[in-house]
Each structure stands twice: as structure tokens, then as C-alpha cells.
Amino acid sequence: MIVLWIVLGIIVVIGLALVLSYNRFVSQRNLIRNAWANIDTELRRRYDLIPNLVETVKGYASHEREVFEEVARTRSMAAGTTGSPAQQAAAEGPFVAALGKLFAVAENYPELKANQNFLALQAELSNTEDRIQASRRFYNANVQGFNRRIQSFPSVLVARSFGFKEEEFFEIEPAIRAVVEQAPRVDFGTAGAGSATAGMPAGGEAGSEAGPPEPTPPTPPG
């Protein structure tokens, strides 16, 4: 009789552990989906800013037709991408590179950099870039924790039993990432000039990232 109760107790403990592990997988997956939705919202916000920015630059550099067309084309491709995080990151690369060329053009026109509409758009774009990067880091941190549990024992048994699969990171190529992380910054410190400095370089580091760029959150046992 005692042995029976011991066996039943072990079964109950194992069952509770499985339920808790399953529920945690569900919560983590929902958190990842919400984090990705935040990234998508910020990306859409940036897409919405670009047409007005292009029109403002056109007023001072209308002959830079090739740059404007490249920005419009790559923006359309990026905005129309609805696939996985990896596919979205691939579409973002050419768009961000084209955006860097647009700001390089703006650097050649002091009057444009003093334009209040340009300054406002530049400031909003800079804030949006900051939010994109913060959302990306949060998303990747959650993906890393989720994927680590899928690879760990005994939670891997639950993952396989209920079809939980590893999620994709949202990563940017090193050269493009250098452009994104040095988003245009507005400089109101120039006395009497009201000028702005668009700090978007033409390229980035040649190295590659070693693994996920985000810090690893502590992972409790599955």
C-alpha cells in the first residue's frame, strides 16, 4: 500500500512538472509573438516617415533621382514583407542602406539641414530607430531563453511532445547594423544655425557577429 502511494505521488509530481513546463512554453511563445508585434509596429512607423522625408529632401536636391527611386523601391519591398523575422531582416538591409544614401545627400545641403520640417522628421526617425533597437534586443533575449529551454533536458521532452520549435532571431547584417545603430541624430547645439547632423555612415564593420547579440537571461530548470 505504501509503495502504491509512493508511485502515485511520483506520477502526480511528474504530471504537475509537465503541466508547468508546458504552460511556461506557451507563455514564452506568446511573449515572443508580442515582442515581434512591437518590432513590426516600429518598422511600420519608420516606413510611414520616409515619404515625407524624401519629399523634403527633393525640395533641395531634386536631381538625386536615383537615390529617391532606390529609397522608394526598397521601402516598398520591406513594407510588403510579411514573412519570418529572418526574411524581414533581409528586406530591411537594402532599405536601411538606401536610407543612409539619402542622409548622405542631405549632408551636402546646409539649407536643408536647417529646414524645420527636415529637423522634425529627422528627430522622429531617430527616436523610432531607438525604439526598433530596444524592441529587437527584447525580442532576441526572449527567443534565446525559449530556444535554450527547447534544447535543454527535461523540457526538450515537453517541446517535442507538443510541437514547440525554435524561434528565429531578428538579426541585421553587420554593415547594415552599423548604419541602423548610428541613426540620424539632431544637433541643436550649433549657435544660431539650427543645423542637424545626420550621423549615418556609408558602411559598417567588416566582422561578423558571434552568436546572438543579446544578453542571456537566467534560465530556470525545465
176-214 pLDDT, tens digit each: 556 555 545 444 333 333 333 333 333 333 333 334 444
103 and 197 in contact (C-beta within 8 Å)? no
Q: Could you tell me which residues are beta bridge partners of residue 87?
A: none
Length of the chain counted residue by residue = 222
List the one residue out of 53, 42, 174, 172 whose CA is nearest residue 102.
53
Residue 13: how many CA atoms within 13 Å on its side-chain side? 6
* CA gap 219, 151 in Å, rounded: 12
104-147 pLDDT, tens digit each: 898 889 898 889 999 999 899 989 989 999 999 999 999 999 99
Q: Looking at domain 2-181, which CATH architecture does it have? A: Up-down Bundle (1.20)
Band of pLDDT at residue 77, cut at 50, 70 and 90:
very high
pTM (two decimals):
0.74
3-class state of residue 185 by DSSP? strand
In degrees and rounded to multiples of 5, residue 185 shows phi and psi of -110, 130
